[in-house]
A and B are shown apart, each in its own frame.
Chain A
């Protein structure tokens, strides 16, 4: 049974249908990717799952329970964590505190207990700090726990965001462009880290990614969005050779020669090293 099932999800912004009648499933313990040109509706779909947007139509079921009417914190409690395309750390908190606050739901101490300094609270805090240190080490930030999040270099901030998401012990982890702005070596590391996460913790992972090397390397299933609609779904091999996908990425003009340009997707990517520079938009 899939861990998350979205059925006929539609999200509109005024006249713009950002997600259009989308059906989507992700299997427990798998790594899946969501790709598509800029503005395809990928981030919007994440926001629908995580409760940032109310959807106009459709249903999202997580672990057998419909979640489209729940608040964000309730969705987090069910075990969905996310990161953000434009990093959103708590800038004036230390790296350590960012992870501590990420464990909010799993700590049990009440404020009265905290004021009185009860034994239970002290143990709870001790556990939380140990767990936070473990997570810092897990993402390779072991010496940077007492730095302010805003003072960390860009790559470290991305990792810290992942660590904060992991602090909630998620069953489903949504990663929005985790390698954006990273150089090839760093993005290679991040890819291995994501795979390691799944292998080690069994976390189901859904990621939005523009870097085709990353996508093709680790995804078991890829879903391609274009103007809010699903235009293709399948294994990396299937996606790479799908004429609709190539058309979406390269524009209408090249559709006729699609077959010859099957390898063009990674090639296009390779020329673009920029921060959020995605593939060329579909508009010809």
Chain B
């Protein structure tokens, strides 16, 4: 980057939105301003679509900062961060650049406040209300119009200054802020069970009914940064790995037991709503692991994946329902294997005709398959069998228990869904390391070469569709029992897209990735009403951010294994030394 003009640019260089950019002779300023304008658009967007006002209802730190304000702060900070990223500059320049970019974004918000004081724009921008202006000006009204501007400049400058900190400090800071954010969001959830335990006082000290208390925020910040620092300097993970296996197990076993107990008592502590959310996440984990085989391992795109879920659900519905369309009134446990097998048959059905289709066409063909199943399920043609739009109702719970039992209601499904997801994760893990799993990956990597190596493409691809479908079918079966009914309207294209997104966000081909992806993309929006309004906006942001920042996903599959068992007694004697070995 060629920078010639010396010193700090005049602060008056933060001009109004129209046409400032071309006047600047030097490219760095143009970039700073462009980023600032982009940030302005994003900040205005956050306000105008209602994210800021709606999120404002949820405090992050009680009485100090709300989620809505945090969203704005984040956007201003990010503007400054992006504007000063990847530039080697003097410290003063970095801070100034960040401040200009952040300030520019703030100017847009200030302009909005001023505009709002003159004309009422609510007719076409319903969210531009006094409530929003109050949030932007800390309730000072029009006199406080300068606040967003100043806040933008300060935050942007801070972001620029962050670039000066050592990477280590920066990381500690990020860890602290992320912990603060996460605990602030989950405060209510953590507090509820704590109140029933002897630590109730501590819970009241740290957590408000929503969000952290001020003391809690400080404690979280200090504790997380401190822990991170200890980990960085003492390398606890390496120390742990260096322990002898017996010692390691002595630490691991109680931890695993503790986790198991926590999973078991979770519905008691957090209530059945939370249990239900986890059950839904577990359902998506099942489907995600299924699609992870077809798409993640074998590389076969399938946007009609919800069809197999529907097949599993309808099969259980037909076989177990005690109402009109039930045909057998079987117990759930007898119907499940049938559902899985029927789903596999449908998987083969889908697989056969589209075997030779590649790439984009596959997306369309599979999406069509999903739509066919959805339309058939709701059609008049199959109405006498599947009930049309009215669906199949009265699907009994898997285990009949008295209503006061701990297995009553959604809790039962919570346990069943978790067991199902764990079972599927185990099967997926075994498959991944098997001969078949390797063949799938080879097909994904290079289909022609895979075939020339001796892999039967037809058989291997069909198996990918069938086993993927089996997992989804099991998910559908559990879903039918969870809801107690199944309708054609449950088969939405969006479900397929959700499943594909969570795999991409989690990390293609990675089993832990699927779980993390499901928690992020399914669990969070279910837990927070504020999020669920903007679910697809967040999907879009998450997908774009992933592609840009971490294309391999949150938890990519560990392709490069550090430990690789050389040697040992099972080595055959060196029959032939390589002439290529140097």
Contacts and interface: CB of A to CB of B under 8 A. Distances in A.
Interface of A: 50-52, 71-73, 75-77, 81-82, 84, 88, 90-94, 96-97, 100-102, 104-105, 107, 109, 111, 114-115, 117, 121, 124-126, 128, 130, 133-134, 137-140, 142, 145-148, 159, 164, 168, 189-190, 192-193, 196, 200
B564 A146 contact: yes
Contacts of A73: 451-457
A76 B431 CA distance: 24
A140 B578 contact: yes
A96 B452 contact: no
B259 interface: no
Contacts of A75: 452
Contacts of B455: 73, 101, 104
Contacts of A200: 576
Nearest to A168: B454
Q: Which of B445, B454, B559, B572 has the most CB of A within 10 A?
A: B454
A162 to B, nearest CB: 9
Contacts of B449: 84, 88, 90
Contact of B576 (A84, A138, A159): A138
20 contacts: A71-B451, A72-B448, A73-B456, A76-B453, A82-B452, A90-B445, A90-B449, A92-B445, A96-B564, A101-B450, A104-B453, A115-B430, A124-B435, A130-B570, A130-B571, A137-B578, A147-B560, A159-B580, A164-B453, A190-B580
B423 to A, nearest CB: 10
Q: Which of B431, B457, B572, B581 has the most CB of A within 10 A?
A: B581
Interface of B: 427, 430-431, 433-439, 441-442, 445-446, 448-457, 463, 467, 559-564, 566, 570-572, 574-582
A157 B467 CA distance: 33
A140 B561 CA distance: 20
Contacts of B450: 90, 101
Q: Which of B427, B435, B561 has the most CB of A within 10 A?
A: B435
Contact of B562 (A51, A125, A146): A146
Nearest to A106: B454
B428 to A, nearest CB: 9
A51 B452 contact: yes
A217 to B, nearest CB: 14
A241 to B, nearest CB: 31
List the 9 shortest-distance A-B pairs measured between CB atoms, nearest first.
Answer: A114-B434, A76-B454, A105-B454, A140-B581, A140-B580, A146-B564, A90-B445, A72-B451, A101-B438
Nearest to A113: B434
A254 to B, nearest CB: 38
Contact of A137 (B436, B442, B581): B581
Given A104-B455, A147-B560, A111 B582 contact: no
Nearest to A137: B578
Given A117-B430, A168-B453, A104 B448 contact: no
B498 to A, nearest CB: 25
A111 B431 contact: yes
A95 to B, nearest CB: 10
Nearest to B434: A114
Contacts of A90: 441-442, 445-446, 449-450
A88 B560 contact: no
A68 B349 CA distance: 30
Contact of A138 (B451, B560, B570, B578): B578
Contacts of B436: 111, 114
A59 B450 CA distance: 25
B578 A101 contact: no
A91 B578 contact: no
Given A88-B446, A90-B449, A114-B433, 16 more contacts: A52-B452, A72-B451, A76-B454, A90-B442, A91-B445, A94-B560, A100-B438, A104-B438, A111-B434, A114-B431, A114-B435, A114-B436, A138-B578, A146-B561, A192-B579, A193-B579
A184 B438 CA distance: 36
Given A114-B431, A121-B434, A134 B570 contact: no
Contacts of B580: 139-140, 159, 189-190, 192-193
A121 B433 CA distance: 11
A94 B563 CA distance: 13
A70 to B, nearest CB: 11
A93 B440 CA distance: 11
Contacts of B570: 126, 130
A143 to B, nearest CB: 8
A92 B574 contact: no
B488 to A, nearest CB: 33
A115 B452 CA distance: 26
A168 B437 CA distance: 18
A117 B456 CA distance: 23
B229 to A, nearest CB: 32
A91 to B, nearest CB: 6
A51 B452 CA distance: 8
A182 B463 CA distance: 41
A137 B580 CA distance: 9
A81 to B, nearest CB: 8
Nearest to B581: A140
Contacts of A50: 452
A195 B582 CA distance: 17
Nearest to B445: A90
A101 B564 contact: no
